A and B are shown apart, each in its own frame.
Chain A
Amino acid sequence: MAVCIAVIAKENYPLYIRSTPTENELKFHYMVHTSLDVVDEKISAMGKALVDQRELYLGLLYPTEDYKVYGYVTNSKVKFVMVVDSSNTALRDNEIRSMFRKLHNSYTDVMCNPFYNPGDRIQAFDNMVTSMMIQVC
């Protein structure tokens, strides 16, 4: 289960960010912010590499001692960043990919909503995101 999920726009400002309500949420915000550099690196590497491996899923961005950070970028350069707890029995790659796929689908639905202006904060994600995050009792 994810500990923090963030959706970041093309211009690198957050459209949606939510973390489990532990103390020190700011730490997660910093982690997401620093992971943006890694995302940019991967995107530019993907552009130059001759390897025919152009995937939207970026994989593990960087691990810290407590957490692991995964990234995913869409064709419209919107980035999804997910922070998961390392102590959790290592979530398999497939599960992370399916979580990102769900996020991408929800984001596309939000985009298609005519009442949503591209670039605004996203309000509609909460239900879906709650189901992905840890239940803190």
Chain B
Amino acid sequence: MADTVLFEFLHTEMVAELWAHDPDPGPGVSAGLRGEEAGATKGQKMSLSVLEGMGFRVGQALGERLPRETLAFREELDVLKFLCKDLWVAVFQKQMDSLRTNHQFLAFTCGLLRGALYTLGIESVVTASVAALPVCKFQVVIPKS
């Protein structure tokens, strides 16, 4: 198995590269800069959504590969159980201590979760919030159809 540090380096570089054009003013400052920096914040949103999109695609692939030998999922509950147990262990077992505060580092992971859910038939919106390290909360919102 490849070393986890490989992905960590790649992820850090991805974030750095996408952020290079739009320095992050930080959550507290952005309110004051709203007037003049509308262009810059829009750039950041683009970078975030690019990162999230990459995570989404990887999540789709994971959603195909991981449940391969498991039996067919019959309802949403099965999908969520799979997400919480198998997917979480496979992805985060190796990364539990490397989550960081800034949103840019979590964008990829949110996309990953959204991609895996989408491939298994659930459309959702995933956001992340960090109350205190090293705990990170992912909120999955499934709209009632």
Contact = CB atoms under 8 A, between A and B. Distances in A.
B61 A55 contact: no
A75 B74 contact: no
Given A75-B120, A114-B57, A46 B74 contact: yes
Interface residues of A, number: 19
Interface in A11-68: 46-47, 54-56
A130 interface: no
B64 A74 contact: yes
Interface residues of B, number: 17
A108 interface: yes
A124 interface: no
A111 interface: yes
B75 interface: yes
B72 A76 contact: no
A73 B72 contact: yes
B85 to A, nearest CB: 15
B65 A56 contact: no
Interface of B: 57, 60-61, 63-65, 67-68, 70-75, 119-121
8 closest A-B pairs by beta carbon, nearest first, are A54-B72, A54-B71, A112-B61, A111-B64, A76-B119, A75-B67, A108-B64, A108-B65
Given A47-B75, A55-B71, A111-B64, 8 more contacts: A46-B72, A74-B64, A75-B63, A75-B67, A104-B68, A111-B60, A111-B65, A118-B60
